[in-house]
Amino acid sequence: VGNPPTGLTVTVVSDLTAEPQATDPTVQLGAAELRHAVLAFSELRFIPCDTMDGNVVMPGPIVVDLVTNKVEPALPSVPVPPGGFCGLDAPLTMAAPNAAMQGCSILFSGLRSDGTLFILYSARAGTLHMRPDPKFPVWDTTIASSFIWALRPLRWLAPAELDAEPSDPFGAVLRVIVIDVNRHPLLFTAIRDRIGGRSTLYADFNGNRQIDADERANGLIGEG
């Protein structure tokens, strides 16, 4: 049988399926209309169940592009303490060495149904939190040695919410919705709350870094 693995890997993906607790699972942006969904984290902090063990930190900055499903730099494996993990924190940062993210922690943009551009380019501070699902209160290598963190940018805004917002001129013929706390506070607040709140963590039972049907049905281990 051998010894179980002592290291844990995390894959970050954009999930096209609504979060399990969604009351409106069909309400989301069209995948073809999304242009950017990028988050910059200063680090990933894995929280041990036994507080005497201390946090296990995956240092950053880490840039997650949910349109291309790329993470830079690649995420290393982290050692798992004997008592396992009971949480994950991901603080946003404005210091990522990425040309598109200079001074910015969130870049989110796309097209409304009428072709109007919407964009949120924000230096927002904050921390995304992931905590255990009651069925799996401890994350350790007896569950799996690979986890999948599913984020859902298509669920950060609803088409009807965009349709209700006024736009501004952008050049001679185009229109734009610049989402910030002053111009479009309701959209800004909705995105802020949904980035983490509509994310989930799955056990990657077979280690293929994809959410398979059995993992979606039985592998939910954490909620944002």
Long-range contacts formed by 166-169: CB under 8 A, 24+ apart: 167/112, 167/116
Mean pLDDT rounded to a whole number for the chain: 94
pLDDT digits (tens, 9 = 90+) for 51-74: 899 999 999 999 999 999 999 999
Distance CA 122, CA 132 (A): 29
pLDDT for the residue 170: 83
pLDDT for the residue 1: 46
pLDDT for the residue 121: 95
SS3 45: strand
Distance CA 80, CA 75 (A): 15
Q: Which pTM value belongs to this model?
A: 0.93
Distance CA 108, CA 175 (A): 17
Question: Residue 114's beta-bridge partner residues?
Answer: none
pLDDT for the residue 6: 73
Low-confidence ranges of the chain (pLDDT < 70): 1-5, 173
Distance CA 149, CA 10 (A): 7
Distance CA 79, CA 56 (A): 8
DSSP string, 127-166: EEEEEE-TT--SB-TTT-SEEEEEE-GGGSS-HHHHHTS-
pLDDT for the residue 3: 57
Amino acid at 209: R
